[in-house]
Structure 1
Amino acid sequence: MPGQPDKSKNLYFIALIPPEDLERDLWEIKKEMSARFDSHAALRSPPHITLHMPFRYRSDRQESLIHSLLDFARKQKPFEVELNGFGAFPPRVIYVDVIPNGPMQELQKGLLDFMKKEHNIFNANYRDRPFRPHLTVAFRDLKKSRFDEAWLFVQDRTLEMSWSALGMYLLIHNGKNWECLQECLFEGF
């Protein structure tokens, strides 16, 4: 039927996910934004930095996708990820700001090229905008009328976190939420 998703394809995306201790702290921020500003969409995925936007891929080729991403990841090197404060894409998105760095930019660009070449997937970035690493805490269902209030709530908050990215994750949508399907470790891990 036109306009209906193809049930033989799953919805995936690829991301960096912080280690458990930082992930717990970031979940608390997401939950606080949800409770205060009635924005729940960010709770449907773990705290993450998107490297490749959601894409549909044949479910019968999932193992092939996983194996190719494992091979791609083995050729990458670990790098530091630094979070510093908050940012926004008005009028709906509030995020924890990620300090861009060369290794993260190179990983993301290499992944996009790899996905085009190996899997014929071209929807790598949102509306052809350049890669702007961030960790979303409120979006889509944050009402425009509440955006200013939510932004005032976080804009001056101090938040500094860092971790060594030792791998990336393939996530799959289960029909309701995003789940980690496969961790793809970088070289030497």
Structure 2
Amino acid sequence: MRTEAERGYFYYEYLLILSPSSEIGKTITRFKKYVEEEYGCKLAAQLIPHMTLANFIQTSENEEAIIRGFRNQASVVSPIHVGLKGFGKFNSHTVYVNVATPKPIMDLVSNLKVKFADKLKLVDSLKPYFINKLHITIARGMSPQQCEEVWAAYEKEAFNATFYATEMLLLRRPVVLSNTGYFESAGRYQKVAELPFEGKNSLGTQLPLFC
């Protein structure tokens, strides 16, 4: 039996995201770099500031169809007003910027899950992940001590910002199947598609620009 590479396609890990505006992104990047330099959190500044919507592993053979489906879904969504307020943490490993207006984005995620969960499933044991708590990570993969120190610095820090999300981005990075049977990263994420929110209804006409 031929391998996937011999058939001419490869495995990738895909990340479907929303990005903040350029100015807000720069501010959050400064947070991330500060945490990396001050507290030694090496996973703080590796990715651009973003909100993950979905994460999945698929083959390059299916990429065009996936992008086409996501693009069609994005075309009926109007730009989304997003509010950010303060900070939060997950257990003892992650500190993040809190999303104060999650509902419209979570409605989008719910629609994506209904329409694409089965299509994105590579095998029964490897299902796509759809986010259930919106956030923008500052640092992750920290030791409990690092997390407590970073949280002490940000817990009472004031941060408020708003922006309009006008598109989804689809990123991918190559992965390989290890000897243990798990996929492992084999490169950095790169952007493969911009998926603009166009606010069209099912007849193809334009909806109001902002919701």
Opposite residue 187 of structure 1, the aligned amino acid is E
Distance 1:161 1:135 in 2: 12
Amino acid at match of 1:24: K
Equivalent pairs, count: 179
Which amino acid is 1:91 matched to? S
Percent identity, aligned pairs only?
Answer: 23
**CA 1:104–1:134: 2 relative to 1, 3 Å:** same
**Alpha-carbon distance between aligned partners in 2 of 1:55 and 1:43, rounded to the nearest angstrom:** 22
Shift of 1:69: 1.1
Alignment pair present for 1:124 and 2:129: yes
Partner residue, 1:28? 30
The aligned residue for residue 79 of structure 1 is 80
TM-score by length of 2: 0.77
- 1:1-189 map, 5 Å: 8-52=10-54, 54-120=55-121, 122-125=127-130, 131-140=132-141, 142-173=142-173, 175-188=186-199
The structure, 1 or 2, with the larger RCO (C-alpha pairs under 8 Å, 6+ apart) is 1
Moved more, 6-15 or 131-140: 6-15
Aligned AA for 2:192? L
**Aligned partners of 1:21, 1:13: CA distance in 2, in Å?**
22
Q: CA deviation at 1:117?
A: 4.2
The structure richer in helix per residue is 1
Structure 1 unmatched runs, 5+: 1-5
Q: Secondary structure at the match of 1:36?
A: helix
Asked if structure 1 preserves the Cα contact closer than 8 Å seen for 2:35 and 2:44, the reply is no
> Over the residues paired in the alignment, what is the CA RMSD in angstroms?
2.1
2:206 maps to what in 1?
A: none
Letter in 1 for 2:169: Y
Measure how far apart 1:113 and its partner are: 1.5
- TM-score, with structure 1 as normaliser: 0.86
Per the TM alignment, residue 177 of structure 1 is displaced from its structure 2 partner at its CA by 2.8
**Structure 1 residues 132 and 79, CA, compared in 2 at 3 Å: closer, same or farther?**
same
Which runs of 4 or more aligned residues in structure 1 lie more than 4 Å from their structure 2 counterparts after TM superposition? none
**Offset of residue 187 of structure 1:** 1.6
* Unaligned ranges ≥5, structure 2: 175-185, 200-208
